[in-house]
Amino acid sequence: MWEERLKEQEVRLKEQEEIILTRRRLIEYIWSVERQFFQKIKDVLNLEDSLNEKERLILNVERKIKRTGGKIKRTGRNILNLEEAHRNP
């Protein structure tokens, strides 16, 4: 009789261990997905910042073109390089 109880307890313990392992795996998976999600958000925000910077540079070049009457002096620089055109008005 006590042997049966002992076996039942062993079975229950194994079931509980499996449940605990499954929960741990699930938690680890959720953390992994959460990390990936936040990394994607960070990547999108970085892309947005980069885009905003490029838009700002384009606007500065457009203002410079308007200010100079549509003529930008080329002093050996590549006019297509917006960042250089912005930095060296």
| 64: region left, alpha or beta (phi > 0 left; psi from -120 to 50 alpha) | alpha
Task: Give 61's contacts (C-beta < 8 A, 6+ positions apart).
Answer: 82, 85, 86
pLDDT recorded at residue 1:
84
Contact present, 74 and 66 (Cβ < 8 Å): no
Find, among 85, 89, 88, 77, the residue nearest to 57 by Cα: 85
pTM of the prediction? 0.52
Q: Kindly report, residue by residue over 30-83, the tens digit of the pLDDT.
A: 999 999 999 999 999 999 999 989 898 888 888 887 777 766 555 544 555 555
pLDDT recorded at residue 71:
62
What are the phi and psi torsion angles at 69 (to 5°)? 75, 30
